[in-house]
Chains A and B, each alone.
Chain A
Amino acid sequence: MAKIKLGLTLYSFSSEYINMKLSLEDILKEASEMGYTGIEIIPAQMCPTYPYVTDEWIEELKSLMKKYNLQPVCWSAYLDMGLATGRDLTEDEIIQYTVNDLIYAKKAGFPIVRSQFSITPEIFVKMIPFCKKLDMKLTIELHHPHFPKHPLWQQYVDICRGVGKGVLGIVPDFGIFINTPHKLWCDQALEMGFEPEKFDKLVDLHKAGVSLEDAQAQLSLNDNEKQIAASMYDEFETRCNPEEIKDIIDVAFYMHGKFYYAEEGQNDPSIPYDEILKAVAETDYDGFIACEYEGHHFTDEIPAAQQLGRYVAMCRRIIGDSIVEA
């Protein structure tokens, strides 16, 4: 049976952070008071000198983590492939950015670096000696719209099971299973002028598996509504089944419990959490699931703490027996 620890990505508090309501220390204090121990940080969000992270900032972060009894778990790096105008990063640059993140994370005490799939399988393999030298784990996030059976991810899984065993891994983000528009998305569609009655019907048709073309024809949508409908079908297409998490869990060092809106009744109608978490609980996964509230992309009026509280309650309702203290 799985031993699941619930952690927190500080990214959940993005609204509070960018609106300067909570500082890094305030967020860590709140995380501690909410009962979290395992922490994920995004340096591209919180380190003022990114992508070059100073020893002073690392020392400040370490002392804050210690002050609030928090455990460093995941250093979330980005591969900003398009940062230079008119070209992608070169292989040397990708390696340089990734090595730097491994070094910074090592110094800050985070055992896992999360990177992105654009690293390519070839460069992912080239990172193995650096990981071994630094005694670090490097992971890439399996994020929507990708899915476990995607050919590229099959390559990554093979690498993690083969030459990269124990060093290279994957971070599945549960957003890959999203299949229904969430409340905040629906609110935004209505704000953008979708006629409410027609919108409700569109959601029902989408849920019933009616094709986009048939739904558009049935509802006689205007151009704006057609565009939103197409967006809904694209963003909330079912690409994989929650059971498929089991196919890759042996190489999952960490997981992202992504959600956009947790309802009061310990439920998320957008991402099939009952099925996902039960599937995870049936495996021998021993690690963190990071609570990752992402509704802040849609509104800054909902407190992250409220959403995180509901999310944790939902997880405990579904797999309480498999959740252990960190």
Chain B
Amino acid sequence: MQFQAFNKILIGDQKLQSYEEAGITLGYQFQIRYPSYRGTFLSCIEKLDIYLDGTLVDPSHIYFCLNGKEYLIEELKDQYKAYWFVLDFATIKVMTDEIPTAGPHDVTVDMYHRIPYAGYNGSYLGLPSKVTKTLIYE
């Protein structure tokens, strides 16, 4: 019964936006933060599932962007030198042709994260943080 009060910061209040390069729409993007009182290492993100309007997004279509770098979900587990400062937003880019319609959409982030200082000898506390927020696509 702890840490759960921080989940409300997981999904940023920014709008759901198109992801464009050179004026070409390549997908959509939104912002997330690490739901805790302190930062963490990306290697501690053990699960990061994204749903748009209840449909699971194929993880291979997701790019996790932080500190000027871009990671596949599959790569996060190896990033133990990459720190996610608690006030910094990471951008979730979803590469897809299925662009959301203008207006409200339910975005769900289902994260499971290891608390690296809580436990030792290979066994650490893990916390679930699952949040759904309605974001406006413009």
CB proximity of A193 to chain B, nearest CB, Å: 13
Among A15, A48, A296, contact of B85 (Cβ-Cβ < 8 Å): A48
On chain A, the residues within 8 Å of B121 by CB distance are 88
On chain A, the residues within 8 Å of B2 by CB distance are 297-298
A85 in contact with B83 given A18-B6, A80-B116, A297-B3 (CB within 8 Å): no
Tell me the complex Cα distance, A263–B36, Å: 25
CB proximity of B109 to chain A, nearest CB, Å: 16
Query: Judging by beta carbons under 8 Å apart, are A83 and B122 in contact?
Result: no
* A15, closest chain B residue (CB): B5
On chain A, the residues within 8 Å of B43 by CB distance are 83-85
Which residues, 30 to 62 on B, are CB-close (under 8 Å) to A? 36-39, 41, 43-44, 46
On chain A, the residues within 8 Å of B86 by CB distance are 18, 45
On chain A, the residues within 8 Å of B44 by CB distance are 82-83
B119 at the interface (CB under 8 A from A): yes
On chain A, the residues within 8 Å of B116 by CB distance are 78, 80-83
Query: Judging by beta carbons under 8 Å apart, are A81 and B117 in contact?
Result: yes
On chain A, the residues within 8 Å of B37 by CB distance are 11, 14, 17-18, 45, 296-297
Tell me the complex Cα distance, A57–B41, Å: 20
Among A83, A228, A235, A296, contact of B41 (Cβ-Cβ < 8 Å): A83
A116 at the interface (CB under 8 A from B): yes
* A235, closest chain B residue (CB): B1
Which residues, 1 to 37 on A, are CB-close (under 8 Å) to B? 11, 14-15, 17-20
* B3, closest chain A residue (CB): A297
Among B1, B6, B36, B124, contact of A82 (Cβ-Cβ < 8 Å): B124
Count contacts on B: residues with CB < 8 A to the other chain. Answer: 33
CB proximity of B93 to chain A, nearest CB, Å: 22
Tell me the complex Cα distance, A111–B115, Å: 27
Looking at A49, A87, A88, the one whose CB has the most chain B CB atoms below 10 A away is A88
On chain A, the residues within 8 Å of B120 by CB distance are 81-82, 88, 118
CB proximity of A26 to chain B, nearest CB, Å: 13
Tell me the complex Cα distance, A81–B122, Å: 9
Query: Judging by beta carbons under 8 Å apart, are B114 and A82 in contact?
Result: yes
On chain B, the residues within 8 Å of A80 by CB distance are 41, 116-117
A218 at the interface (CB under 8 A from B): no
* B115, closest chain A residue (CB): A82
Q: Which residues in B have some Cβ–Cβ distance to A below 8 Å?
A: 1-6, 8-9, 36-39, 41, 43-44, 46, 77-78, 80, 83, 85-88, 114-117, 119-122, 124
Q: Could you write out 18 A-B pairs with CB less than 8 Å apart?
A: A15-B5, A17-B37, A45-B39, A48-B87, A49-B85, A50-B39, A78-B116, A82-B44, A82-B115, A88-B121, A88-B122, A116-B117, A185-B1, A188-B4, A189-B1, A192-B1, A296-B5, A297-B3
**Nearest 7 pairs of A and B residues by beta carbon:** A80-B116, A14-B37, A82-B124, A82-B116, A45-B38, A84-B80, A83-B116
Q: Which residues in A have some Cβ–Cβ distance to B below 8 Å?
A: 11, 14-15, 17-20, 42, 44-45, 47-51, 78-88, 116, 118, 185, 188-189, 192, 228, 231, 235, 296-300
